[in-house]
Homo-oligomer: A and B are copies of this chain.
Amino acid sequence: MLPTIKWDENKVIMIDQRKLPGEEVYVECQNTDQVAEAIEKMVIRGAPAIGVAAAFGVALGVLSIDNDEKLDEEFARILHRLEITRPTARNLFWALERMKGAFERNKGLELSHLKEKLIQEALDIEAEDVETNRKIGFYGKELIEDDQSILTHCNAGALATAGYGTALGVIRAAFQEGKKICVFADETRPFLQGARLTCWELHKENIPVVLITDSMAGYFMQKGEIALVITGADRITRNGDAANKIGTYSLAVLAKEHSIPFYVAAPFSTIDFNLNRGSEIPIEERDPQEVREVGGHCLSLADVKVKNPAFDVTPAKYISAIITEKGTARPPYGESLEELNNVKEL
């Protein structure tokens, strides 16, 4: 298991994903602000991993409370600091709501016991995430056949989660079952999660991987070299529209044009039943320097105007199936996601 994030003696340790694969450096967070900044600066990224980090960030915040005067106020401040880190991924808000629930249930306890309860809740979220991903892998691997090449975008792997991964969890599960597969990894500009993280993860487990630029996906589909596409998601609305890393929508359109299945793998915590359609999802616009530079090397004019939306929305009609820990939903998603939502965990 790769060490994305862990709770260690009242501190949170994360691998600095900005420095991979060149350097394996760990960052230590001792308070809520440090966790919030790590999320904002993408030391840690990936919707489920952000959720886990936020839960730990809440636990660290509560740990630092000295007395239970103004407890509600203090807790609200902790939540707010984490809520404003990144707007798109549902899992962040889901984890914060869950931590808030644990707080509400336990705030009558003695402060030291409340602290223990909230640390335990965050550890539960972390452990459940890995278990969830294994179940996603279990359901998803059935969609992959022997000798297939699979295109993935960004990194929806162990590094995007507490471990194992969503899209890469499905790929791992198929590979571990002995299926001969090859992964095409889009480099995923501007942040290069595919080139840096997906290649690194797959290489560590000897899963065959080929790095391509984002612009090459259509070419390999046209040549018949890609059998299916599988990505993660940052937020899925009740109708099945899915926000994910910028570029995902283009792949979904290309997949449809080539009659290639396009799958989304995500935990149920990614689904936002409060939103009816993808156009309601807030899309984060990030620093233009991410587009202007790579590794400090300026690619264009230093002051060129840039747009840098970090996500796009793939309408449900392009998605062949959504793979969750409760099973695989097929269109129409309005019904199938609701049905799975009513399933109690197996």
Contacts and interface: CB of A to CB of B under 8 A. Distances in A.
Contacts of A220: 307
Nearest to A257: B253
Interface stretch (A3-11, A39-47, A291-299, A323-331): A291-299
A306 B208 CA distance: 11
A341 interface: no
Nearest to A191: B213
A210 B250 contact: no
A188 B305 CA distance: 16
Contacts of A299: 187, 192, 195-196, 294-295
A179 interface: no
A300 B306 CA distance: 24
A99 B52 CA distance: 67
Nearest to A292: B211
A120 interface: no
A295 B297 CA distance: 7
Interface in A198-222: 199-200, 203, 208-220, 222
Interface string A245-257: 0110110011011
A304 B247 contact: no
Given A253-B253, A312-B218, A301 B247 contact: no
Main secondary structure of the interface of A (DSSP, over half): mixed
A308 to B, nearest CB: 8
A313 B22 CA distance: 35
A304 B213 contact: no
Given A203-B304, A253-B253, A295-B297, A189 B214 contact: yes
A305 B214 contact: no
Contact of A219 (B214, B295, B312): B312
A21 interface: yes
A106 to B, nearest CB: 43
A250 B220 CA distance: 10
Contacts of A210: 305-307
B211 A312 contact: no
A22 to B, nearest CB: 7
Nearest to A305: B210
A299 B187 CA distance: 9
Contacts of A261: none
A33 to B, nearest CB: 31
A216 B246 contact: yes
Contact of A21 (B214, B246, B253, B301): B301
A334 interface: no
Interface of A: 21-22, 186-190, 192, 195-196, 199-200, 203, 208-220, 222, 246-247, 249-250, 253-254, 256-257, 291-292, 294-301, 304-307, 309, 312-313
Given A196-B300, A211-B305, 9 more contacts: A188-B215, A189-B215, A200-B301, A210-B307, A213-B214, A216-B309, A217-B250, A294-B297, A294-B299
